Amino acid sequence: MTGDKNHKGYSLKVNKGVEQPSSVSEEALQRYKNIKQKPLIIDDYIEGIRSGHRTILSKAITLIESSLPDHQETAQEIIERCVPFSGNSIRVGITGVPGVGKSTFIEEFGKHITQKGDKLAVLTIDPSSQRSKGSILGDKTRMELLSADPNAFIRPSPSSGTLGGVARKTRESIILCEAAGYNVIIIETIGVGQSETAVHSMVDFFLLLMLAGAGDELQGIKRGIMEMADAIFINKADGDNLEKANIASQVYKNALHLLPPAESGWTPMVDVCSAVAGTGISNAWNIILNYRDLTKKNGYFDKKRMLQLKQSMLETINRQLNEDFYNTPVIQATLPQIEKQLFQSQITSFAGARKLIDIYIKKLKGQDG
């Protein structure tokens, strides 16, 4: 699907000897027709995902997003069996404030990618918004052509949950998409709050879409987000807006010069594009491929992925340790008393913490006695 087509370096190479999806057997196709009638067993999911069956992939992601313990258990088994087939992709984060034209950009960008012969999955992270509740239809409407493209898989945001939970579900969905043969993964995020940081922690390349403003380009940017960007594209660079966009592009280039050099050895690129006019789109994709080539060569690509995996594990451990602690009944019962002592200047925050930890450890040990 990818490495053997050899599009003059445009297609992604299979580096790890990962087994590629087999074609769907007639028998399997027959079975899938009945998926609405009977529940699938794990093997059905694995075979369906590995053969690139989109409805099965979609159903598996629904299990990941479900909060039912049964679903979670099945999902974890599916993920564990898909992990060995994951990783063979380039993961691209795309962000930008509402109105910047993300959907139109991703539609054009996605068509360009699938025309090159690659398979594209688009996932969305939007934990802060109620918008996502009804966004399946929304996203399909937003990206009409891409939705109909057999080489594209579009999946809207999980409908609810904390950022930590949503981030985990997206990480797991990436694994399934990669196991299903999608070798370009776009993670779209709405330009608000902390979701950019979460997306940055799970992608290889981070693309920031901006608009040309009226001379106030820098004031609107969250500095931390600009520091994360591997490329900034000024969208809607068409018609009367083109000159403004070129000026904005220069402003951003100057601003990026102020940042310290990145460990990747990559210099963040700034350019203009117009998703509506279709200009600058292939340039954006070439930049991403250049980035991949550079960082694969200097080792940063793999190093970053390993760091991301480790960071994700440490964050999960931290979250779990805290959840276990605060869900313990004796802690829930004692915390308000300690807080009262704290607020009345009877103890320090350090002593209060130490007391609660001692109670917790004692409780844990006591459960066995």
Residues that bind a copy of itself (CB under 8 A): 16, 76, 79-80, 83-84, 86-87, 168, 171-172, 175, 218-219, 222-224, 255, 258, 306, 309-310, 312-314, 316-318, 320-322, 324-325, 338-339, 342-343, 345-354, 356-357, 361, 364-369
Length of the chain: 369
Among residues 4, 32, 35, the alpha carbon closest in space to that of 20 is found at 4
Burial of 192 (0-12, 13-18, 19+ CB in 10 A): middle
- What are φ and ψ of residue 357, in 5° steps? -60, -45
- Whether 175 contacts 82, CB under 8 Å: yes
Provide, rounded to whole angstroms, the least separation between the CB of residue 261 and a copy of itself.
18
Which residue, 148 or 258, has its beta carbon nearer to a copy of itself? Answer: 258
* DSSP structure string for 292-340: HHHHHHHSHHHHHHHHHHHHHHHHHHHHHHHHHHHTSHHHHHHHHHHHH
Provide, rounded to whole angstroms, the least separation between the CB of residue 2 and a copy of itself.
17
> Which secondary-structure segment (H or E) carries 123?
strand 120-125
Tell me how far apart the alpha carbons of residues 271 and 276 are, in angstroms, rounded to a whole number: 16
Helix (H, G, I), strand (E, B) or coil at 185: strand
Which residue, 221 or 273, has its beta carbon nearer to a copy of itself? Answer: 221
Provide, rounded to whole angstroms, the least separation between the CB of residue 244 and a copy of itself.
20
Provide, rounded to whole angstroms, the least separation between the CB of residue 98 and a copy of itself.
17
Which residue, 254 or 267, has its beta carbon nearer to a copy of itself? Answer: 254
- What are φ and ψ of residue 42, in 5° steps? -55, -45
Tell me how far apart the alpha carbons of residues 211 and 233 are, in angstroms, rounded to a whole number: 8
Which residue, 7 or 223, has its beta carbon nearer to a copy of itself? Answer: 223
Which residue, 144 or 263, has its beta carbon nearer to a copy of itself? Answer: 263
Tell me how far apart the alpha carbons of residues 306 and 301 are, in angstroms, rounded to a whole number: 9
Tell me how far apart the alpha carbons of residues 55 and 93 are, in angstroms, rounded to a whole number: 24
Residue indicated by tokens 């398979």: 119
Provide, rounded to whole angstroms, the least separation between the CB of residue 295 and a copy of itself.
17
Which residue, 41 or 361, has its beta carbon nearer to a copy of itself? Answer: 361
Provide, rounded to whole angstroms, the least separation between the CB of residue 235 and a copy of itself.
22
Provide, rounded to whole angstroms, the least separation between the CB of residue 183 and a copy of itself.
15
Which residue, 24 or 359, has its beta carbon nearer to a copy of itself? Answer: 359
Q: Which letter does DSSP use for residue 2 in this model? A: -
Exposure class string for 224-244: b at 16+ Cβ within 10 A, else e:
ebbebbbbbbbbbbbeebbeb
Which residue, 41 or 314, has its beta carbon nearer to a copy of itself? Answer: 314
Provide, rounded to whole angstroms, the least separation between the CB of residue 351 and a copy of itself.
6
Which residue, 85 or 206, has its beta carbon nearer to a copy of itself? Answer: 85
Among residues 305, 226, 303, the alpha carbon closest in space to that of 270 is found at 226
Provide, rounded to whole angstroms, the least separation between the CB of residue 220 and a copy of itself.
8
